[in-house]
Structure 1
Amino acid sequence: MQPVLSLLAAGSTPSVIEQIELFFREGGFFMILLGLTSVVGVAAICYKFLTLARSRIVPDDLAADVDSFESRIQSGRVEEVLNTFERGESALARLGAVTVGQRGRPQSEIAEAVQAMARSEIVRLHSGMASIDVVISVAPLLGLLGTASGLVVVFSGLGSDNTDWVMITAGIGRALKTTIVGMAIAVPAIIAQGFFQRKIETYAARLEVLLTKLAHVCERSPRLVPNPSAGEAD
């Protein structure tokens, strides 16, 4: 509060940047912790945007190829899809490789092998979500802790004969700033968490549909028919 009073006494109005600087400076040590928490939250959200890109999970081209996998076997155009599976550049490709590797076996055995691999892919999809959960829990608590510590200092001045109620009111306002910042960090993190969770569920459902269809084809096709042109070249 003293920097603001000195600026007003000098007859100058603080600029927006100065007001923001004073806002965070008056929060004290807990503003630093909240700043670190916000950095972790932003980093985790950016990481999830990158890792949950459609091209990394269910590429549209590969999804179309898997959807038409049976017709590709019948026409001998399956080699390109198999090569994509082997490269394993997406979750669908890695799971597709496992499914094709179990071709000719009973449906239950294929499903068991795919489910084992799918669990690791689901864990990979959820990587980084724990950091967002921590930010959602910690940011409001740090804000409240900063407010509580500020109120302790403010109310410790009560009871004296020269109590300045104006300063006490201003002090309470300063103490509440950490709570405001904590909530401001937690709210976007909660929105991001819901968005990413919904995206993961959508990807999981799409993968299940495609892999179930691929498993049925592999069960009926003990031997995948190679590309005829590739056979002629040999």
Structure 2
Amino acid sequence: MLDLILAGGMVMYPIILCSILALAIIVERLWALRVNKISPRNLISQVWGWVKNGKLDGKKVKELRDSSPLGRVLATGLINAKHGRDIMKEAIVDTATHEIHEMGRFLNLLGSIAAVAPLLGLLGTVIGMIKVFNAIVLEGAGNAAILAGGISEALYTTAAGLVVAIPALFFHRFFSRRIDEIAVMMEQDAVKLVDVIHGDREAESSEGDKK
């Protein structure tokens, strides 16, 4: 591996840095963007149980806010419920926007790595080909060893750039899609909460609890 890095020249070092950053972001986001951690499926029924049984108090709201991003959204809605449906919805939207923004943390950097890594590989290719042409000018076309060294440097950096960029691009789109799906689920649960609190969905929620 060290021989490949050395053969690729100086451009290999920023490519390696990009690979380390990309791997760290991918692992961190895989851990952070777990659906059961961000938007637990039983949370809305739990909140409805508190509301129905008269157990909703400041302690429960704090517990809800500390439980998950969805919990923070629902807690904000409950805190502002007394101000009416519209204010409750506005508060939910503001909190949800902040939480969704937090879920997308580091994704811009991951997307930048996916775009930059192939360009670094291309830069290495250009540098390698410049060395080849310089060798031809100085040594003539008969020195195969010098020519092969420049060509190999060009190929190594190109391959390394693509090896970093392809998974970075894949996971960038994968995480973006997952965030969109989680956002939809959070929106659905928030709408259910608004309807339940203001009496438009009591029967449906009760049936859901029975199930």
Structure 2 length-normalised TM = 0.84
Give the corresponding residue for 2:187. Answer: 208
Give CA deviations for 1:49-80 in whole Å, capped at 9, x if unaligned.
122122431123324424xx1x5533445468
Say which of 91, 111, 117 aligns to 1:133.
Answer: 111
- Verify: 1:151 aligned to 2:132, yes or no: no
Give the corresponding residue for 2:30. Answer: 49
- Listed as ranges, the gaps of 5+ residues in structure 1 are 1-19, 222-234
- Verify: 1:188 aligned to 2:171, yes or no: no
- Listed as ranges, the gaps of 5+ residues in structure 2 are 201-211
Larger Rg: 1
Superposition pairs for residues 16-95 of structure 1, below 5 Å?
20-66=1-47, 69=48, 72-76=50-54, 78=56, 82-86=61-65, 88-95=66-73
Preserved CA contact (<8 Å) 1:58 1:203: yes
Which range moves more in the overlay, 97-106 or 200-209? 97-106
What's the C-alpha RMSD, in Å, of the aligned pairs? 2.2
Could you tell me how far 1:216 is from its partner in structure 2? 1.5
How many residues were matched structurally? 198
Counterpart of 2:129 in structure 1: which amino acid?
A: L
Could you tell me how far 1:84 is from its partner in structure 2? 2.9
Give the corresponding residue for 2:74. Answer: 96
Alignment partners' CA distance in 2, 1:93 and 1:102: 14
Preserved CA contact (<8 Å) 2:9 2:153: no
Structure richer in helix, relative to its length = 2
Alignment partners' CA distance in 2, 1:61 and 1:204: 16
Could you tell me how far 1:189 is from its partner in structure 2? 0.6
SS in 2 for 1:127: coil
Alignment partners' CA distance in 2, 1:150 and 1:82: 62
Could you tell me how far 1:173 is from its partner in structure 2? 3.0
Report percent identity of matched pairs. 27
Preserved CA contact (<8 Å) 1:99 1:113: yes
- Deviating beyond 6 angstroms after TM superposition, the runs of 4 or more aligned structure 1 residues are none
